[in-house]
């Protein structure tokens, strides 16, 4: 196998558009098989490995990471109209080993130590562009790979919650028409200070939007992406609210905090940014355990949502740890962007594992 350095990756010194336009072509690799049979919200897959919404800017990025051994590919969150990306830096490495939430600030780091502040603002190509791209991607992607499309509503001044829900539903409809295998609605984005960014903290509003989206998705698996929920009663309320609609819950988006430079000056205009990567692993694992526990207490006849973990997963032992804690799938954003060969390494390490389903 070639060294990881030879594989192209997202270039954090370049703009979002540059990275969008310079997606790498798929590569020829033969990642190891994993023991057992796996499914993603009812769809058969050959591993629990996937890429959550973010790193896959368009169909070419989807096909590149599919060729690198990931089985569930989430197309980066799209909107019902085009939206530009925030200015550089979009990915600012930070110095921190662990975040539990409630931290006031983290300091930037000159080098990547596993975690970074993410500052994109959920850009989107125009629907004409992403709808065609998803259609073409589904045609070109091998049938065993799952293409999930993440969508978000774009709250306009004066809009009611119903209008926001309709906007989510419209994006879901377009994505399904284009061939998406699953739909994910992003109910969390710490970088967007509007209602669409905070739905996971508003159970009633989340239920309304989810019910509207579910009317569109029908039998297509429907996932809900949420942010950091450290509190059991908050998790319980949210779970109850979306239970009738969600096939899966994807968590944890990130842990939000402000970022300062060496002189303690606030970056990003003093706004919070979502920290992603290894520093969020413990917070993400704690949250998974809360949801696993709540789901285990649901009545036997209830439709139980699958739990899809992301947040700081970066090794075979992390994958095992999250599966053992109740995740049905383990998705990697930061680690996969930093090391494109990570799925191959994890698959190799787990290929002889006898205790994957502990
Ligand atoms: C570059 C980048 C872009 C992201 N964009 C989105 C997005 O558009 N929608 C979304 O729901 N999450 C987005 N996320 C959050 C990831 O899906 C994921 O929840 C988070 O990165 C935690 O996983 P990690 O620790 O493996 O990076 C993004 C993350 C990164 C690193």
Q: Which structure tokens are listed for 86?
A: 């925030």
How many domains are contained in the chain?
A: 1
**Residue 1 domain-assigned (yes or no):** no
Q: Hey, what long-range contacts does 289-295 have (CB within 8 A, 24 or more apart)?
A: 289/325, 289/326, 290/229, 290/230, 290/232, 290/235, 291/235, 291/239, 291/249, 291/251, 291/326, 292/325, 292/326, 293/232, 294/232, 294/235, 294/236, 294/239, 295/239, 295/326
- Tell me the best of 16, 19, 53, 278 to mutate to test the pocket of ligand 1, counting ligand atoms within 8 Å of each CB and taking the most: 53
* Cα 85 to ligand 1 centroid, rounded to whole Å: 14
* Cα 296 to ligand 1 centroid, rounded to whole Å: 27
For 219-273, the pLDDT digits (tens) are: 999 999 999 999 999 999 999 999 999 999 999 999 999 999 999 999 999 999 9
The distance of Cα 339 from the centroid of its chain, to the nearest Å, equals 17
Three-state DSSP at 289 gives helix
**Residue 17 domain-assigned (yes or no):** no
**Residue 6 domain-assigned (yes or no):** no
For 176-232, the pLDDT digits (tens) are: 999 999 999 999 965 555 555 589 999 999 999 999 999 999 999 999 999 999 999
Whether residue 224 has its Cβ less than 6 Å from ligand 1: no
Whether residue 334 has its Cβ less than 6 Å from ligand 1: yes
For 21-50, the pLDDT digits (tens) are: 999 999 999 999 999 999 999 999 999 999
Angle value at C-alpha 55, between 155 and 180, nearest 5 degrees: 70
What is the signed CA dihedral for 292, 220, 31, 325, rounded to 10 degrees?
Answer: 0
* Cα 253 to ligand 1 centroid, rounded to whole Å: 6
- The structure's pTM equals 0.97
Judged against a pLDDT cut of 80, whether residue 318 lies above it is answered with yes
| DSSP state at residue 325 | T
Q: What is the CATH number of the domain that holds 144?
A: 3.20.20.70
Whether residue 190 has its Cβ less than 6 Å from ligand 1: no
Distance CA 75, CA 180 (A): 9
**Residue 46 domain-assigned (yes or no):** yes
On whether ipTM exceeds 0.90, the answer is yes
Whether residue 254 has its Cβ less than 6 Å from ligand 1: yes
Please report the pLDDT score of residue 330 as a whole number: 98
Whether residue 93 has its Cβ less than 6 Å from ligand 1: no
**Residue 290 domain-assigned (yes or no):** yes
**Residue 12 domain-assigned (yes or no):** no
**Residue 202 domain-assigned (yes or no):** yes
| DSSP state at residue 266 | B
Q: Which domain holds residue 266?
A: 22-350
Which ligand 1 atom is nearest residue 335's CA?
Answer: 26
Neighbouring CB atoms inside 10 A of 143's CB total: 7
Residue nearest to atom 29 of ligand 1 (CA): 54
Q: Which of 121-135, 196-210, 331-345 has the lowest mean pLDDT?
A: 196-210
Count of CA atoms in the C-beta half-sphere (13 A) of 332? 29
| DSSP state at residue 278 | G
Whether residue 92 has its Cβ less than 6 Å from ligand 1: no
**Residue 243 domain-assigned (yes or no):** yes
Whether residue 50 has its Cβ less than 6 Å from ligand 1: no
Say which residue the tokens 């095992």 belong to. 320
């Amino acid at each position: 196998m070639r060294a990881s350095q030879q594989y192209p990756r997202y270039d954090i010194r370049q703009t979002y558009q540059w990275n969008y336009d310079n997606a790498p072509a798929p590569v020829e690799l033969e990642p190891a098989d994993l023991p057992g049979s796996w499914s993603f919200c009812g769809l058969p897959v050959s591993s629990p490995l996937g890429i959550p919404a973010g790193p896959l800017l368009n169909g070419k990025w989807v096909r590149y990471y599919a060729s690198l051994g990931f089985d569930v590919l989430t197309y980066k969150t799209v909107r019902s109209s085009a939206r530009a990306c925030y200015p550089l830096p979009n990915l600012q490495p930070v110095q921190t080993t662990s975040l539990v939430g409630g931290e006031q600030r983290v300091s930037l780091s000159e080098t990547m130590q596993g975690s970074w502040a993410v500052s994109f603002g959920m850009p989107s190509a125009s629907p004409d562009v992403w709808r065609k791209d998803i259609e073409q991607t589904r045609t070109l992607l091998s049938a065993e790979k799952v293409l999930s499309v993440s969508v978000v509503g774009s709250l306009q001044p004066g809009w009611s919650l119903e209008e926001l829900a309709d906007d989510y539903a419209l994006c879901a409809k377009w994505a399904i028409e284009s061939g998406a295998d699953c739909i994910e609605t992003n109910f969390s984005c710490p970088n967007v200070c509007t209602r669409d960014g905070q739905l996971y903290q508003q159970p009633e509003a989340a239920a309304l939007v989810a019910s509207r989206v579910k009317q569109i998705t029908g039998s297509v698996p429907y996932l809900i992406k949420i942010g950091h929920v450290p509190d059991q009663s908050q998790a319980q309320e949210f779970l109850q609210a979306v239970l009738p609609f969600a096939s899966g819950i994807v968590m944890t988006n990130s842990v939000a905090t402000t970022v300062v430079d060496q002189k303690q000056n606030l970056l990003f205009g003093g706004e919070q940014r979502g920290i992603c990567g290894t520093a969020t692993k413990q917070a993400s694992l704690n949250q998974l355990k809360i949801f696993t526990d709540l789901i285990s207490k649901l009545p036997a006849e209830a439709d139980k949502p699958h739990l899809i973990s992301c947040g700081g997963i970066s090794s075979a032992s992390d994958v095992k740890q999250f599966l053992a804690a109740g995740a049905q799938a383990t998705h990697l954003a930061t680690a996969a962007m930093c090391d494109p060969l990570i799925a191959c390494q994890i698959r190799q390490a787990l290929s002889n594992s006898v205790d994957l389903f502990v």
